[in-house]
Structures are given as structure tokens and as C-alpha cells.
Chains A and B, each alone.
Chain A
């Protein structure tokens, strides 16, 4: 007997964090204990979150698979569904379908240094893999996180940034665009590519994981190449518009590749083999 692949799990909003003026993080718990029992996912996978009456929207699962009691998602109020989500309160119900898509190959990265580079609202799709590797800290060598946002107010996960900053086994570099700093800002000032060039992490035995707006990716890639990173050692995620999440609705393909099935995680080597349809 097959089942309805479009039917979401019912989730209860356990907690809401206002990350910035328009970005929120929801902690969601399965309303049905059996669903929670059956559910598992891996870093990089995404889901379809729904507000009944508004529709569905696609975001990654932003919590780590090593933390099993809940899932989290972070979204910016931008369209119909995300505005609908933002109007919900703790205790309200949302729908969730997933997990979908491929995963970051973190087993292959064992024994290597990890360099995470994120811009703005692109830290959430990376947060899952960051926590996943931090929770398995002994399997990796140096972990470096370079995170930039337009302004101090636009930095998400402020509590976690503090936690990462205080940990001796993580190197965190935060930066804001020139003019985006506050008087007491102690981080870097400058765009992510420039800060990365200044910090100049070694590419030796290192995997770079990069997520951000297209303009950031465009100017960060040459810096990574200059630092000696090879295309196969750079990973990113693609975020095309989706409806179904399982390769049927016809929206998210880049050439013959479905972002929802073959992605969202791609190595830069794979990206270069695709037509520029993302």
C-alpha cells in the first residue's frame, strides 16, 4: 500500500526566535509520536513547510540530525507562505513534508579541515551541517566559520555565534558590510570575499562549504581558487523554486539535474558541469 506523498506531518511550534526584524527560527515537534519515531534525516536535506490556507514553502532543515527531539527551520518573511508562518504563535500547527534531497558528504570529510563560508540568510542552510560536524568534533580537524551579513542587525543565530566564538575548537570570523557596524562591533568590517582573503585559511586538506547570495558566491570563488582550493573540494547548495520536492512538478531542474533529488548539495565541480539555470 502506497501512501499520500503530499500529506505533511503535523508539527507543533515549540519555540520561536526572532533572529532579525524579518527572520525567524521555529523549533518544531511532531504532534504524533510515531511520526517522530520514524523520522530521520541527514545534514543538507530540506522540507516543505506549510501554513494551511497559504501553501507550502521550501527550506532546509536548520537543526542538526544529531539532535533528534525536534527540527528547526529559519526563514525570512518574503512571500505569502513565509508571512503566514511569521504570523503563527508558539503552540500553533504547521505542516512539514520531508526530508528531501541529498546530503553533505560529511563522512568523506572526516580527518579534514572544514571551512564554512556563509552570507546573510544563507547561514541557515549551513547551520545543520555545521552543528552536525561540531557534534562529531573529534572526527574533523580545524573548523573555521566565516559569516557575513549586511549589518549587525542582520546577523542570524546571535546566541550561537557567541557560543561558537567562545569555543576554543572553533574559529569564527564574523563580518558586516562597511556601514553595517555598530559602535561596539568587534568583528570584521568588509564583504565576505575580502575578509576571506585577509584571513587566508589554508586549502591544505580542507573542504570549503559555501552558501550565500549569488553575488557573494561570484566574488568568493576566485578567492578560494587563489587560496588553492580545487573545484571538487568546494561545496554549495542550490535553491531553485520547488513545489513537490521529489522530482515530479518540473520546476527546479538545472538541465537534467533536479535540485530537489540530485541536490540541493553540489560540489563546485558538479556545478561547473551544469548549465547556468539556477
Chain B
């Protein structure tokens, strides 16, 4: 549908939130006293943060939970059986106040989970998700959305995008039918927009993703990978906080004869990730695993998934225990 721009005042936003929160699951950011922001289900409106820079974890778990049960089994030798998970029980979730980088990640995750055959767990969760995005009024040195083709007010992935205004109110861009359905719950809260000034932050571009992608096509054997990953611990924190990392493991868990098979988050940064049973490992050292991470996001995905695998949220860098900064590295890499 064509985007409709409206104005919503802060007190109307509270009414809208309370209405939504009373009738469905709403996942919204709350900043604790230690200034860490975490998403919670149905917090009080007064606890919700509107000016956080980035939550500690991304919000990908709403479509790609840390652990997703795939089915249940009963292991009885000749009479083993499988019981399905009822995906129709997946509830509608309103994602409230997530920033454009996080929301742009849903398309990228889609390009992985649905590129060939469709992963019904992912697609059902995405179908049940309504995203009320929030443009960014603050940023920091780790933000680099503008280097990967996004901006503090990118609408990608949002059903409604709220843009903060200097007077404390918000513009509401209604982008999809799903978003419009939310508006129709209380259309009176959405007023005619004027020419109010936005309070969006500016994020400086650090590198050209096109240049990075072009460079990577011939950089597989470059010493850059070893030089820039010597301090990498292989801890996987970057993948853990990343909104687009989708690598997963599949494991069984049994008690007695009953159990479940589940899919859980994994990371290409771990040595065990690619280890063959024979002991051979195609990515046996950390530099090869670091290269895989960058190559996957900036070279393989643009080619195979027609999408970069990065939204420039900066979490991998801000969360890295040894301060490996991806944007700084790509700034160097584009010119090697």
C-alpha cells in the first residue's frame, strides 16, 4: 500500500500502547539502571525507552528464537513416533519501538530461511509479527547503518514507522496493511501531520558496502584475515548479538524415551561448527572463521540472497570482548 503519514502525540502513543498491550503480546525496549536496554513482553508504558541507541541483544528472537522445538518424539525401538509442534499456536506479537536497523534484518533473515524451501517456523512467526518501528534520535561511534544502505529513519521491515519530532511527538508512517490494521483500532489517535521538525540523529558513513563487496571477490587469500583476527577469542558474542546471524545447530534432548529435536543458535566463529567426524576441519583456524563471517555477510549473501547480511547496528563491535570493530575493519578492507 501507499505510505500514509500521520502525526501521533506522545499521550496518544501511550493510549495506543495500552490498548495493544491489553489485548496481545507487545515486545518493547526497557532500559535498566545500568543503562543496558532489553526487550520485554508487555512492560508498563512508563518503563519503555524511546531514546535508546541499541538494545544489548537484537530482536531477531521474535522470528528466530534461541531455541525452536521442531518436533517431539517417543523413542520406542520398533514403534517410535513423532508429534508435530502446533505452529498455529504461535501468537501475534507487536514489536514496539525497534530501530530501523533491527527491522531491516527481518528481510535478510527471510532471505536465509525462505530462499529455497520455506522454513515454516520462521515464516509463521514473521507472519504473526507486526512491527512498529522507531527512528533513531541517538547514535554512537559504533553505529554504521548508513554504510550498509540504511538510515536512522529507514522504513524497511516496519509496518508503522514512528519518527521522533523535536517537540516530543511522533510522525507515524503507515506502511503496510498490517500497520493500517493497528491504526484502525483507534484511528482518532492519528492526526494530520504538519511540517514539524524531526529529531533524527545523523550517522556518518564509514565505508562503501559496494566497494567492500567488490574487494572481497578477490580477497580470499589476503593476509588481512590473519592480521585482523589474531585477537579473536572465537567466543561467538558477535553472532549472539547480531540481528542477521542465522546459523543454527540441530540437537536432540531426551528424557526416558521421550524427547524433542530443536534448532538453536550457533556461530561460524566456533571451531566445532565445521569440524568433521574424521577430525578434519575446513576452517581450522580463527582467521578462516573470521573471513567466513565477513565473506558471508558482504560477499556470499549479496550474490546468493540478493541482500547484504549486515544492517550496521554495531552490536558485534560494541559487544566484542576484545574490541574487534567490524566497521573499522571494513573501512580498511575496502582499500586493501
Contact = CB atoms under 8 A, between A and B. Distances in A.
Interface in B105-121: 112-113, 115-121
Most chain A beta carbons < 10 A, residue from B80, B123, B268: B80
Given A2-B118, A4-B120, A277-B282, A55 B79 contact: no
A8 interface: yes
Contact of B73 (A2, A52, A251): A52
Most chain A beta carbons < 10 A, residue from B85, B247, B261, B303: B261
Contacts, number: 124
A56 B250 contact: yes
A92 interface: yes
A251 B247 CA distance: 8
Contacts of A248: 112-113, 115, 119, 246, 248
Nearest to A244: B250
A52 B75 contact: yes
B246 A93 contact: no
Interface string A26-50: 0000000000000000000000001
B306 to A, nearest CB: 13
A4 B117 CA distance: 10
B50 interface: no
B78 A92 contact: yes
A253 interface: yes
Nearest to B87: A4
A250 B250 contact: no
A250 B79 contact: no
A12 B78 CA distance: 7
B84 interface: yes
Contact of A249 (B70, B266, B276, B282): B266
A240 B248 CA distance: 16
Contacts of A252: 274
A53 B268 contact: no
Given A5-B117, A5-B119, A10-B80, A256 B300 contact: yes
Contacts of B252: 50, 52-55
Contacts of B249: 243, 249
A214 B221 CA distance: 21
B274 A241 contact: yes
A249 B71 contact: no
A240 B220 contact: no
A52 B250 CA distance: 12
Interface string A225-263: 000000000000001110110111111111110000100
Contact of A6 (B112, B221, B263, B295): B263
Contact of A247 (B81, B116, B280): B116
Interface of B is mostly: mixed
B288 interface: yes
A275 interface: yes
Given A79-B277, A91-B78, A3 B120 contact: yes
Nearest to B276: A241
B282 A55 contact: no
Nearest to A84: B252
Contacts of A240: 274, 276, 282
A278 interface: yes
Contacts of A54: 252
A7 interface: yes
A250 B247 contact: yes
Contacts of B10: none
Contacts of B70: 4, 6-7
B246 A7 contact: no
A194 interface: no
Interface string A88-106: 0101110100000000000
Contact of A10 (B82, B116, B274): B82
Contact of B77 (A55, A93, A275): A93
B275 interface: yes
B280 A214 contact: yes
Contacts of A246: 116-117
Nearest to A261: B116
A78 interface: yes
A8 B72 CA distance: 11
A55 B117 CA distance: 22
B283 to A, nearest CB: 7
A112 B221 CA distance: 38
A247 B282 CA distance: 17
Contacts of A82: 277
Nearest to A238: B282
B254 interface: yes
A214 B278 CA distance: 11
Given A8-B82, A53-B259, A78 B277 contact: yes
6 contacts: A2-B120, A53-B252, A248-B112, A251-B247, A251-B274, A254-B282
Given A50-B261, A247-B115, 18 more contacts: A2-B120, A2-B123, A4-B121, A5-B117, A8-B82, A50-B252, A52-B254, A52-B259, A56-B250, A82-B277, A91-B77, A93-B79, A239-B276, A241-B276, A244-B250, A246-B117, A248-B113, A277-B282
